[in-house]
Structure 1
Amino acid sequence: MSRAERLLDLIQLLRRHRAPVSGPALASELGISIRTLYRDIATLQAQGADIQGEPGLGYVLRPGFTLPPLMFTADEIEALVLGSRWVARRAEDARLGDAAANAIAKITSVLPEDLRQSVEGAALLVGAGEVTPAVVDLGAIRLAIRSERKLAIAYRNADGSATERAVWPFAIGFFDRVRVVAAWCELRQDYRTFRLDRISRMEALPDRYPRRRAVMLKEWREREGIRPS
Protein backbone atom coordinates (compact mmCIF):
# COMPACT_ATOMS: atom_id res chain seq x y z
CA MET A 1 0.00 0.00 0.00
CA SER A 2 1.34 3.44 -0.95
CA ARG A 3 1.55 6.21 1.65
CA ALA A 4 -1.15 8.19 -0.16
CA GLU A 5 -3.51 5.21 0.03
CA ARG A 6 -2.68 4.75 3.71
CA LEU A 7 -3.47 8.39 4.49
CA LEU A 8 -6.78 8.10 2.65
CA ASP A 9 -7.63 4.93 4.58
CA LEU A 10 -6.80 6.70 7.85
CA ILE A 11 -9.11 9.59 6.99
CA GLN A 12 -11.91 7.18 6.07
CA LEU A 13 -11.39 5.25 9.30
CA LEU A 14 -11.56 8.40 11.41
CA ARG A 15 -14.72 9.47 9.62
CA ARG A 16 -16.42 6.26 10.70
CA HIS A 17 -15.75 6.98 14.38
CA ARG A 18 -17.69 9.85 15.95
CA ALA A 19 -16.13 9.26 19.35
CA PRO A 20 -12.36 9.41 19.96
CA VAL A 21 -10.57 6.20 18.99
CA SER A 22 -7.24 5.17 20.45
CA GLY A 23 -4.00 5.20 18.51
CA PRO A 24 -3.34 1.46 19.01
CA ALA A 25 -6.84 0.64 17.71
CA LEU A 26 -6.28 2.75 14.60
CA ALA A 27 -2.83 1.28 14.00
CA SER A 28 -4.15 -2.25 14.40
CA GLU A 29 -7.00 -1.74 11.94
CA LEU A 30 -4.64 -0.18 9.37
CA GLY A 31 -1.94 -2.79 9.90
CA ILE A 32 0.78 -0.26 10.69
CA SER A 33 3.01 0.53 13.65
CA ILE A 34 2.01 3.13 16.24
CA ARG A 35 4.98 5.30 15.24
CA THR A 36 3.82 5.26 11.62
CA LEU A 37 0.31 6.20 12.77
CA TYR A 38 1.62 9.20 14.71
CA ARG A 39 3.59 10.37 11.65
CA ASP A 40 0.55 9.96 9.40
CA ILE A 41 -1.68 11.90 11.78
CA ALA A 42 0.91 14.70 11.92
CA THR A 43 1.02 14.75 8.11
CA LEU A 44 -2.75 15.04 7.83
CA GLN A 45 -2.86 17.75 10.48
CA ALA A 46 -0.21 19.70 8.53
CA GLN A 47 -2.44 19.41 5.44
CA GLY A 48 -5.35 20.96 7.34
CA ALA A 49 -7.17 17.98 8.81
CA ASP A 50 -8.85 18.93 12.09
CA ILE A 51 -7.77 15.80 13.98
CA GLN A 52 -8.07 16.40 17.70
CA GLY A 53 -6.49 14.30 20.40
CA GLU A 54 -3.11 13.04 21.45
CA PRO A 55 -1.33 9.78 22.31
CA GLY A 56 -3.06 8.02 25.20
CA LEU A 57 -6.35 9.90 24.82
CA GLY A 58 -7.58 8.96 21.35
CA TYR A 59 -8.25 10.84 18.12
CA VAL A 60 -11.32 12.27 16.44
CA LEU A 61 -11.71 13.98 13.04
CA ARG A 62 -13.87 17.09 13.04
CA PRO A 63 -16.17 17.49 9.99
CA GLY A 64 -15.25 19.55 6.96
CA PHE A 65 -11.89 18.15 5.83
CA THR A 66 -11.18 16.85 2.34
CA LEU A 67 -7.83 15.83 0.96
CA PRO A 68 -6.03 18.48 -1.14
CA PRO A 69 -6.97 18.49 -4.86
CA LEU A 70 -5.08 16.11 -7.10
CA MET A 71 -2.86 18.05 -9.49
CA PHE A 72 -2.17 16.87 -13.02
CA THR A 73 -0.57 18.40 -16.07
CA ALA A 74 -2.65 18.89 -19.22
CA ASP A 75 -0.85 15.93 -20.83
CA GLU A 76 -1.59 13.71 -17.82
CA ILE A 77 -5.28 14.63 -17.92
CA GLU A 78 -5.52 13.88 -21.63
CA ALA A 79 -3.81 10.52 -21.07
CA LEU A 80 -6.27 9.62 -18.29
CA VAL A 81 -9.31 10.68 -20.29
CA LEU A 82 -8.14 8.91 -23.45
CA GLY A 83 -7.44 5.72 -21.50
CA SER A 84 -10.81 5.77 -19.76
CA ARG A 85 -12.63 6.41 -23.04
CA TRP A 86 -10.80 3.53 -24.71
CA VAL A 87 -11.70 1.16 -21.88
CA ALA A 88 -15.34 2.27 -21.87
CA ARG A 89 -15.67 1.87 -25.65
CA ARG A 90 -13.30 -0.92 -26.62
CA ALA A 91 -12.58 -3.17 -23.62
CA GLU A 92 -15.68 -5.36 -24.19
CA ASP A 93 -16.11 -5.51 -20.41
CA ALA A 94 -19.07 -3.54 -19.05
CA ARG A 95 -17.86 -3.56 -15.45
CA LEU A 96 -14.41 -2.37 -16.47
CA GLY A 97 -15.98 0.36 -18.59
CA ASP A 98 -18.15 1.54 -15.70
CA ALA A 99 -15.10 1.51 -13.40
CA ALA A 100 -13.16 3.69 -15.86
CA ALA A 101 -16.00 6.21 -16.02
CA ASN A 102 -16.33 6.24 -12.23
CA ALA A 103 -12.58 6.77 -11.79
CA ILE A 104 -12.58 9.80 -14.08
CA ALA A 105 -15.65 11.19 -12.30
CA LYS A 106 -13.90 10.87 -8.92
CA ILE A 107 -10.75 12.54 -10.22
CA THR A 108 -12.75 15.33 -11.87
CA SER A 109 -14.66 16.05 -8.67
CA VAL A 110 -11.51 17.08 -6.79
CA LEU A 111 -9.75 19.03 -9.55
CA PRO A 112 -9.60 22.83 -9.63
CA GLU A 113 -12.05 24.46 -12.07
CA ASP A 114 -9.55 25.08 -14.87
CA LEU A 115 -8.34 21.47 -14.84
CA ARG A 116 -11.90 20.19 -14.57
CA GLN A 117 -12.69 21.99 -17.81
CA SER A 118 -9.70 20.25 -19.40
CA VAL A 119 -11.25 16.88 -18.54
CA GLU A 120 -14.71 17.80 -19.79
CA GLY A 121 -13.33 19.33 -22.99
CA ALA A 122 -10.67 16.74 -23.82
CA ALA A 123 -10.47 16.49 -27.61
CA LEU A 124 -8.96 13.00 -27.89
CA LEU A 125 -11.65 10.59 -29.07
CA VAL A 126 -11.80 6.82 -29.42
CA GLY A 127 -13.35 5.41 -32.59
CA ALA A 128 -15.39 2.27 -32.92
CA GLY A 129 -13.58 -1.02 -33.51
CA GLU A 130 -14.45 -4.47 -34.78
CA VAL A 131 -13.58 -6.72 -31.85
CA THR A 132 -14.33 -10.40 -32.31
CA PRO A 133 -16.86 -11.01 -29.51
CA ALA A 134 -16.06 -13.42 -26.71
CA VAL A 135 -18.53 -15.93 -25.30
CA VAL A 136 -17.02 -16.01 -21.81
CA ASP A 137 -17.11 -13.24 -19.22
CA LEU A 138 -13.92 -11.18 -19.27
CA GLY A 139 -14.75 -9.92 -15.79
CA ALA A 140 -14.66 -13.49 -14.45
CA ILE A 141 -11.18 -13.92 -15.93
CA ARG A 142 -10.02 -10.70 -14.25
CA LEU A 143 -11.36 -12.00 -10.94
CA ALA A 144 -9.51 -15.31 -11.38
CA ILE A 145 -6.29 -13.41 -12.08
CA ARG A 146 -6.67 -11.21 -9.01
CA SER A 147 -7.40 -14.18 -6.75
CA GLU A 148 -4.81 -16.44 -8.46
CA ARG A 149 -7.38 -19.18 -9.17
CA LYS A 150 -7.34 -21.83 -11.86
CA LEU A 151 -9.80 -21.87 -14.75
CA ALA A 152 -11.18 -24.87 -16.62
CA ILE A 153 -11.76 -23.98 -20.27
CA ALA A 154 -13.00 -25.64 -23.45
CA TYR A 155 -10.75 -24.27 -26.20
CA ARG A 156 -10.89 -24.48 -29.98
CA ASN A 157 -7.50 -24.22 -31.72
CA ALA A 158 -6.90 -22.47 -35.04
CA ASP A 159 -7.32 -25.78 -36.89
CA GLY A 160 -10.72 -26.31 -35.28
CA SER A 161 -9.67 -29.07 -32.86
CA ALA A 162 -11.20 -28.83 -29.38
CA THR A 163 -9.45 -29.47 -26.07
CA GLU A 164 -10.32 -29.28 -22.38
CA ARG A 165 -7.68 -27.52 -20.30
CA ALA A 166 -6.93 -26.30 -16.81
CA VAL A 167 -5.02 -23.02 -16.94
CA TRP A 168 -3.43 -20.55 -14.51
CA PRO A 169 -4.35 -17.09 -15.89
CA PHE A 170 -2.03 -14.18 -15.09
CA ALA A 171 -2.62 -11.49 -17.76
CA ILE A 172 -5.10 -10.30 -20.38
CA GLY A 173 -3.97 -8.73 -23.66
CA PHE A 174 -6.21 -6.20 -25.43
CA PHE A 175 -5.53 -6.12 -29.16
CA ASP A 176 -7.42 -4.27 -31.89
CA ARG A 177 -9.58 -7.22 -32.91
CA VAL A 178 -9.14 -9.88 -30.24
CA ARG A 179 -8.60 -10.31 -26.52
CA VAL A 180 -6.22 -12.99 -25.26
CA VAL A 181 -5.47 -14.43 -21.84
CA ALA A 182 -1.91 -15.45 -21.00
CA ALA A 183 -1.72 -18.48 -18.74
CA TRP A 184 0.22 -21.53 -17.70
CA CYS A 185 -1.42 -24.54 -19.37
CA GLU A 186 -1.45 -27.77 -17.37
CA LEU A 187 -2.08 -29.80 -20.55
CA ARG A 188 1.00 -28.45 -22.35
CA GLN A 189 3.05 -27.81 -19.21
CA ASP A 190 4.07 -24.48 -20.66
CA TYR A 191 2.95 -20.89 -21.12
CA ARG A 192 0.21 -20.37 -23.70
CA THR A 193 -2.03 -17.54 -24.88
CA PHE A 194 -5.71 -18.21 -25.55
CA ARG A 195 -8.02 -16.08 -27.68
CA LEU A 196 -11.18 -15.34 -25.75
CA ASP A 197 -13.36 -15.79 -28.85
CA ARG A 198 -12.13 -19.39 -29.08
CA ILE A 199 -13.05 -20.27 -25.48
CA SER A 200 -16.50 -21.85 -25.73
CA ARG A 201 -16.91 -22.68 -22.05
CA MET A 202 -15.19 -21.61 -18.85
CA GLU A 203 -15.47 -22.49 -15.17
CA ALA A 204 -13.67 -20.91 -12.25
CA LEU A 205 -12.06 -23.59 -10.11
CA PRO A 206 -11.69 -23.34 -6.32
CA ASP A 207 -7.99 -24.25 -6.46
CA ARG A 208 -5.37 -21.54 -6.18
CA TYR A 209 -2.49 -22.11 -8.52
CA PRO A 210 0.82 -22.88 -6.79
CA ARG A 211 2.90 -20.03 -8.23
CA ARG A 212 2.53 -16.27 -7.70
CA ARG A 213 0.96 -14.38 -10.56
CA ALA A 214 3.63 -11.67 -10.55
CA VAL A 215 6.39 -14.29 -10.80
CA MET A 216 4.77 -15.97 -13.79
CA LEU A 217 4.13 -12.66 -15.51
CA LYS A 218 7.76 -11.64 -15.10
CA GLU A 219 9.00 -15.01 -16.34
CA TRP A 220 6.66 -14.96 -19.36
CA ARG A 221 7.66 -11.41 -20.30
CA GLU A 222 11.34 -12.30 -20.16
CA ARG A 223 10.81 -15.37 -22.32
CA GLU A 224 8.73 -13.47 -24.88
CA GLY A 225 11.03 -10.43 -24.86
CA ILE A 226 8.25 -8.12 -23.69
CA ARG A 227 9.39 -5.07 -21.76
CA PRO A 228 7.15 -3.94 -18.86
CA SER A 229 5.06 -0.93 -19.82
Structure 2
Amino acid sequence: MSRSIRLLNLLQLLREYHHPATAQKLAEHLNISVRSIYRDIECLRAQGVNIEGSAGLGFVLKEDFLLPPISLNDTEVEAVFLALNWLKRIPDTELKQAAHSVLAKLNAVIPKSKQELLDATTLHSIHQWIATDEKTVEQVRLSIRHEVKIEIQYLDERGKLSVRRLWPFALGYFNDKILLAAWCELREDFRNFRLDRIQKITLFEERYPQFKRHLFQQWWQQEIQKKANHS
Protein backbone atom coordinates (compact mmCIF):
# COMPACT_ATOMS: atom_id res chain seq x y z
CA MET A 1 0.00 0.00 0.00
CA SER A 2 1.39 3.41 -0.97
CA ARG A 3 1.97 6.11 1.66
CA SER A 4 -0.64 8.40 0.10
CA ILE A 5 -3.33 5.69 0.20
CA ARG A 6 -2.41 4.90 3.80
CA LEU A 7 -2.78 8.56 4.77
CA LEU A 8 -6.18 8.79 3.09
CA ASN A 9 -7.32 5.61 4.86
CA LEU A 10 -6.19 7.01 8.21
CA LEU A 11 -7.95 10.31 7.54
CA GLN A 12 -11.18 8.52 6.66
CA LEU A 13 -10.94 6.34 9.76
CA LEU A 14 -10.51 9.42 11.95
CA ARG A 15 -13.63 10.91 10.35
CA GLU A 16 -15.62 7.93 11.60
CA TYR A 17 -14.61 8.40 15.25
CA HIS A 18 -16.46 11.04 17.25
CA HIS A 19 -14.24 10.44 20.29
CA PRO A 20 -10.45 10.10 20.58
CA ALA A 21 -9.12 6.84 19.18
CA THR A 22 -5.87 5.39 20.44
CA ALA A 23 -2.97 4.72 18.10
CA GLN A 24 -3.30 1.03 18.95
CA LYS A 25 -6.94 0.95 17.84
CA LEU A 26 -6.14 2.84 14.62
CA ALA A 27 -3.19 0.55 13.89
CA GLU A 28 -5.28 -2.60 14.37
CA HIS A 29 -8.01 -1.30 12.08
CA LEU A 30 -5.56 -0.34 9.32
CA ASN A 31 -3.30 -3.36 9.85
CA ILE A 32 -0.16 -1.26 10.27
CA SER A 33 2.21 -0.61 13.17
CA VAL A 34 1.57 1.89 15.97
CA ARG A 35 4.80 3.64 15.01
CA SER A 36 3.43 4.13 11.47
CA ILE A 37 0.27 5.68 12.94
CA TYR A 38 2.32 8.25 14.86
CA ARG A 39 4.36 9.09 11.76
CA ASP A 40 1.26 9.37 9.56
CA ILE A 41 -0.55 11.61 12.04
CA GLU A 42 2.41 13.96 12.12
CA CYS A 43 2.46 13.91 8.31
CA LEU A 44 -1.24 14.81 8.14
CA ARG A 45 -0.73 17.58 10.69
CA ALA A 46 2.11 18.98 8.58
CA GLN A 47 -0.31 19.14 5.64
CA GLY A 48 -2.78 21.21 7.67
CA VAL A 49 -5.12 18.55 9.06
CA ASN A 50 -6.35 19.56 12.52
CA ILE A 51 -5.83 16.40 14.60
CA GLU A 52 -5.95 16.84 18.36
CA GLY A 53 -4.59 14.40 20.92
CA SER A 54 -1.37 12.66 21.81
CA ALA A 55 0.13 9.28 22.58
CA GLY A 56 -1.76 7.54 25.37
CA LEU A 57 -4.78 9.83 25.11
CA GLY A 58 -5.93 9.11 21.59
CA PHE A 59 -6.48 11.25 18.50
CA VAL A 60 -9.55 12.98 17.11
CA LEU A 61 -10.12 14.92 13.88
CA LYS A 62 -11.37 18.41 14.74
CA GLU A 63 -11.71 19.86 11.27
CA ASP A 64 -11.57 18.28 7.83
CA PHE A 65 -9.89 20.53 5.30
CA LEU A 66 -10.29 18.11 2.38
CA LEU A 67 -14.09 18.16 2.20
CA PRO A 68 -15.80 21.29 0.86
CA PRO A 69 -18.87 22.72 2.62
CA ILE A 70 -22.21 21.56 1.24
CA SER A 71 -25.53 23.32 1.28
CA LEU A 72 -28.60 21.26 2.20
CA ASN A 73 -31.89 22.47 3.61
CA ASP A 74 -33.39 20.87 6.73
CA THR A 75 -35.56 18.40 4.84
CA GLU A 76 -32.69 17.35 2.58
CA VAL A 77 -30.48 16.73 5.62
CA GLU A 78 -33.16 14.58 7.24
CA ALA A 79 -33.73 12.67 4.00
CA VAL A 80 -30.04 11.89 3.45
CA PHE A 81 -29.37 10.79 7.01
CA LEU A 82 -32.57 8.74 7.25
CA ALA A 83 -31.65 6.90 4.04
CA LEU A 84 -28.08 6.27 5.18
CA ASN A 85 -29.20 5.01 8.58
CA TRP A 86 -31.55 2.60 6.79
CA LEU A 87 -28.63 1.43 4.68
CA LYS A 88 -26.53 0.80 7.80
CA ARG A 89 -28.84 -2.13 8.64
CA ILE A 90 -28.99 -3.77 5.24
CA PRO A 91 -27.61 -7.35 5.00
CA ASP A 92 -24.63 -6.33 2.86
CA THR A 93 -21.33 -5.76 4.66
CA GLU A 94 -19.73 -3.44 2.10
CA LEU A 95 -22.84 -1.27 1.69
CA LYS A 96 -23.13 -0.96 5.47
CA GLN A 97 -19.49 0.10 5.70
CA ALA A 98 -20.06 2.58 2.86
CA ALA A 99 -23.03 4.07 4.72
CA HIS A 100 -20.93 4.58 7.85
CA SER A 101 -18.20 6.19 5.74
CA VAL A 102 -20.57 8.60 3.97
CA LEU A 103 -22.23 9.54 7.26
CA ALA A 104 -18.84 10.35 8.74
CA LYS A 105 -17.96 12.53 5.75
CA LEU A 106 -21.27 14.40 5.94
CA ASN A 107 -20.95 14.91 9.67
CA ALA A 108 -17.55 16.47 9.03
CA VAL A 109 -18.87 19.18 6.72
CA ILE A 110 -22.48 20.03 7.57
CA PRO A 111 -22.95 23.29 9.48
CA LYS A 112 -23.41 23.24 13.25
CA SER A 113 -27.10 24.16 12.93
CA LYS A 114 -27.73 21.12 10.75
CA GLN A 115 -25.84 18.89 13.16
CA GLU A 116 -28.05 20.16 15.98
CA LEU A 117 -31.08 19.32 13.81
CA LEU A 118 -29.85 15.74 13.46
CA ASP A 119 -29.05 15.44 17.16
CA ALA A 120 -32.65 16.40 17.96
CA THR A 121 -34.38 14.40 15.22
CA THR A 122 -36.86 11.66 16.07
CA LEU A 123 -36.96 10.28 12.53
CA HIS A 124 -35.74 6.69 12.57
CA SER A 125 -35.50 3.83 10.11
CA ILE A 126 -36.80 0.60 11.65
CA HIS A 127 -36.49 -2.45 9.47
CA GLN A 128 -36.27 -6.19 9.97
CA TRP A 129 -34.64 -8.26 7.25
CA ILE A 130 -35.09 -11.98 6.64
CA ALA A 131 -31.78 -13.64 7.54
CA THR A 132 -29.62 -13.55 4.41
CA ASP A 133 -25.99 -14.51 3.89
CA GLU A 134 -24.18 -11.19 3.50
CA LYS A 135 -21.40 -12.72 1.41
CA THR A 136 -24.01 -13.93 -1.08
CA VAL A 137 -25.52 -10.44 -1.29
CA GLU A 138 -22.09 -8.95 -1.94
CA GLN A 139 -21.27 -11.51 -4.64
CA VAL A 140 -24.58 -10.93 -6.43
CA ARG A 141 -24.09 -7.16 -6.30
CA LEU A 142 -20.56 -7.49 -7.72
CA SER A 143 -21.75 -9.82 -10.49
CA ILE A 144 -24.28 -7.17 -11.53
CA ARG A 145 -21.65 -4.44 -11.43
CA HIS A 146 -19.30 -6.42 -13.68
CA GLU A 147 -22.07 -7.98 -15.82
CA VAL A 148 -20.85 -11.55 -15.40
CA LYS A 149 -22.76 -14.82 -15.25
CA ILE A 150 -23.41 -16.64 -12.00
CA GLU A 151 -24.59 -20.10 -11.07
CA ILE A 152 -26.76 -20.61 -8.01
CA GLN A 153 -28.26 -23.48 -6.08
CA TYR A 154 -31.75 -22.21 -5.32
CA LEU A 155 -34.37 -23.47 -2.89
CA ASP A 156 -37.85 -22.43 -4.05
CA GLU A 157 -40.97 -21.84 -1.93
CA ARG A 158 -41.87 -25.56 -2.18
CA GLY A 159 -38.47 -26.61 -0.85
CA LYS A 160 -37.26 -27.88 -4.25
CA LEU A 161 -33.56 -27.35 -4.99
CA SER A 162 -32.44 -26.43 -8.52
CA VAL A 163 -29.26 -25.22 -10.19
CA ARG A 164 -29.58 -22.09 -12.34
CA ARG A 165 -27.14 -20.30 -14.64
CA LEU A 166 -28.12 -16.61 -14.56
CA TRP A 167 -27.41 -13.23 -16.08
CA PRO A 168 -27.96 -10.98 -13.04
CA PHE A 169 -28.85 -7.36 -13.81
CA ALA A 170 -30.84 -5.80 -10.93
CA LEU A 171 -31.44 -5.99 -7.17
CA GLY A 172 -34.61 -4.84 -5.45
CA TYR A 173 -34.85 -4.23 -1.69
CA PHE A 174 -38.47 -5.08 -0.86
CA ASN A 175 -39.77 -4.85 2.72
CA ASP A 176 -37.96 -7.71 4.48
CA LYS A 177 -36.23 -9.39 1.54
CA ILE A 178 -33.85 -8.74 -1.37
CA LEU A 179 -34.90 -9.86 -4.86
CA LEU A 180 -32.62 -10.56 -7.79
CA ALA A 181 -33.88 -9.99 -11.33
CA ALA A 182 -31.99 -12.12 -13.84
CA TRP A 183 -32.18 -13.89 -17.17
CA CYS A 184 -32.34 -17.64 -16.50
CA GLU A 185 -30.60 -19.82 -19.09
CA LEU A 186 -32.57 -22.86 -17.90
CA ARG A 187 -35.98 -21.23 -18.42
CA GLU A 188 -34.82 -18.98 -21.27
CA ASP A 189 -36.74 -16.14 -19.68
CA PHE A 190 -36.58 -13.53 -16.93
CA ARG A 191 -36.95 -14.78 -13.38
CA ASN A 192 -36.86 -13.25 -9.89
CA PHE A 193 -34.98 -14.91 -7.04
CA ARG A 194 -34.97 -14.24 -3.31
CA LEU A 195 -31.40 -13.93 -2.08
CA ASP A 196 -32.20 -15.59 1.26
CA ARG A 197 -33.09 -18.77 -0.69
CA ILE A 198 -29.75 -19.00 -2.50
CA GLN A 199 -27.87 -21.94 -0.99
CA LYS A 200 -24.65 -21.55 -2.97
CA ILE A 201 -23.34 -19.11 -5.56
CA THR A 202 -20.50 -19.27 -8.08
CA LEU A 203 -19.26 -16.25 -10.04
CA PHE A 204 -17.80 -16.68 -13.51
CA GLU A 205 -15.44 -14.46 -15.45
CA GLU A 206 -17.65 -14.85 -18.53
CA ARG A 207 -19.67 -11.74 -19.32
CA TYR A 208 -23.22 -12.19 -20.45
CA PRO A 209 -23.97 -11.06 -24.03
CA GLN A 210 -26.12 -7.98 -23.27
CA PHE A 211 -25.70 -4.82 -21.23
CA LYS A 212 -27.46 -4.92 -17.86
CA ARG A 213 -29.39 -1.73 -18.61
CA HIS A 214 -30.83 -3.34 -21.76
CA LEU A 215 -31.83 -6.44 -19.81
CA PHE A 216 -33.43 -4.24 -17.17
CA GLN A 217 -35.43 -2.36 -19.81
CA GLN A 218 -36.67 -5.62 -21.37
CA TRP A 219 -37.56 -7.05 -17.97
CA TRP A 220 -39.36 -3.86 -16.93
CA GLN A 221 -41.44 -3.83 -20.10
CA GLN A 222 -42.35 -7.46 -19.48
CA GLU A 223 -43.38 -6.67 -15.90
CA ILE A 224 -45.54 -3.76 -17.09
CA GLN A 225 -47.21 -6.02 -19.65
CA LYS A 226 -47.93 -8.66 -17.00
CA LYS A 227 -49.63 -6.07 -14.79
CA ALA A 228 -51.64 -4.79 -17.75
CA ASN A 229 -52.83 -8.31 -18.57
CA HIS A 230 -53.92 -8.89 -14.98
CA SER A 231 -55.76 -5.58 -14.64
Q: Is the 8 A contact 1:173 1:180 kept in 2?
A: yes
Q: Is the 8 A contact 1:174 1:180 kept in 2?
A: yes
Matches of 2:221 and 2:120, distance apart in 1: 40
Residue 224 of structure 2 is matched in structure 1 by 225
The one-letter amino acid paired with 1:222 is Q
Residue 184 of structure 2 is matched in structure 1 by 185
SS of 1:225 mapped into structure 2: helix
Residue 138 of structure 1 is matched in structure 2 by 137
Residue 71 of structure 2 is matched in structure 1 by 71
Residue 153 of structure 1 is matched in structure 2 by 152
Are residues 161 and 70 of structure 1, via their aligned partners in 2, closer, same or farther at CA, if it must alter by over 3 Å?
same
Residue 41 of structure 1 is matched in structure 2 by none
The one-letter amino acid paired with 1:219 is Q
The one-letter amino acid paired with 2:86 is W
Are residues 117 and 218 of structure 1, via their aligned partners in 2, closer, same or farther at CA, if it must alter by over 3 Å?
farther
Matches of 2:120 and 2:182, distance apart in 1: 40
Identity of aligned residues (%): 34
Is 110-119 or 96-105 further displaced after alignment? 110-119
CA RMSD of aligned residues (A): 2.3
TM superposition score normalised by structure 2:
0.64
Q: Is the 8 A contact 1:81 1:122 kept in 2?
A: no
Residue 166 of structure 2 is matched in structure 1 by 167
Matches of 1:116 and 1:200, distance apart in 2: 43
SS of 2:88 mapped into structure 1: helix
Q: Is the 8 A contact 2:172 2:178 kept in 1?
A: yes
| Residues 69-120 of structure 1, C-alpha deviations (whole Å, 9 max, x = no match) | 111111111111111111112x111221121121121122122221232334
Q: Is the 8 A contact 1:149 1:206 kept in 2?
A: yes
Q: Is the 8 A contact 1:156 1:163 kept in 2?
A: yes
Matches of 1:122 and 1:145, distance apart in 2: 36
Q: Is the 8 A contact 1:108 1:119 kept in 2?
A: no
Give the count of matched residue pairs. 164
| Residues 4-29 of structure 1, C-alpha deviations (whole Å, 9 max, x = no match) | xxxxxxxx9xxxxxxxxxxxxxxxxx
Q: In structure 2, list runs of 5 or more residues that go unmatched.
A: 5-46, 49-64, 226-231
Question: What is the deviation of 1:175?
Answer: 1.7
